[in-house]
A and B are shown apart, each in its own frame.
Chain A
Amino acid sequence: EAGVAQSPRYKIIEKRQSVAFWCNPISGHATLYWYQQILGQGPKLLIQFQNNGVVDDSQLPKDRFSAERLKGVDSTLKIQPAKLEDSAVYLCASSLGSRIYNEQFFGPGTRLTVL
């Protein structure tokens, strides 16, 4: 079974530029998550999708971050414009969404450096 795919793996941009990340979840997984992991910390949820609907985006900085999951499969996360403090690893995870204890499977992440 293929795992969660993410691209790019690394991205370096200047502040105020835009960037987009892509995620392809495990086939059949209805729930998709985007997390931000700053160096030395655990992942922090940015947004959770159930199929193509948003379940939780309470911690998404909506003035600069946006995400979509068209057709309930792939997802993109965009930052526009980027700030220095956005430097982090952006992790995508997916789960079946139907199990009580919600086991999540993570992709390798995209490491973003904002200069």
Chain B
Amino acid sequence: TQLLEQSPQFLSIQEGENLTVYCNSSSVFSSLQWYRQEPGEGPVLLVTVVTGGEVKKLKRLTFQFGDARKDSSLHITAAQPGDTGLYLCAGAPQAGTALIFGKGTTLSVSS
């Protein structure tokens, strides 16, 4: 069974700080996605990475897919209270298959 381990599980920081969330596995994934989920809502897709070593930027968020396609990271620069939420990584073992989700990282940014 393929698993995705996310760390840290909880993160509480001040506005303006930087942070990194990690998503690790012992298995290879064909693609990996990052979602953000707010209370009472479904996850919203932030980014999909498909190539080993790929780096994508979305404003203050930087996503990286490991060279071996087994791990990924999400870096947020100058966090803002609006970044508060549950960040989930999800991997597709093969193209077109259902996603396997990590347990998520709960981020709280206070002003």
Residues of A within 8 A of B (CB): 4, 33, 35, 40-45, 48, 55-56, 91, 93, 97, 100-109, 111
Contact = CB atoms under 8 A, between A and B. Distances in A.
B94 to A, nearest CB: 10
A42 B101 contact: yes
Given A4-B42, A42-B90, A91-B42, A103 B48 contact: yes
A102 B96 contact: yes
B101 A105 contact: no
Chain A CB within 10 Å — which of B6, B92, B99, B103 has the most? Answer: B99
Interface of B: 4, 6, 30-31, 33, 35, 40-45, 48, 50, 88, 90, 92, 95-104
Chain B contact surface mostly: loop
Contacts, number: 66
A78 B104 CA distance: 27
Contacts of A102: 31, 92, 95-97, 99
B50 A41 contact: no
A32 B101 CA distance: 16
Given A41-B103, A41-B104, A42-B88, A105 B45 contact: yes
Contacts of A104: 33, 45, 99
A93 B42 contact: yes
A19 B86 CA distance: 28
A43 B101 contact: yes
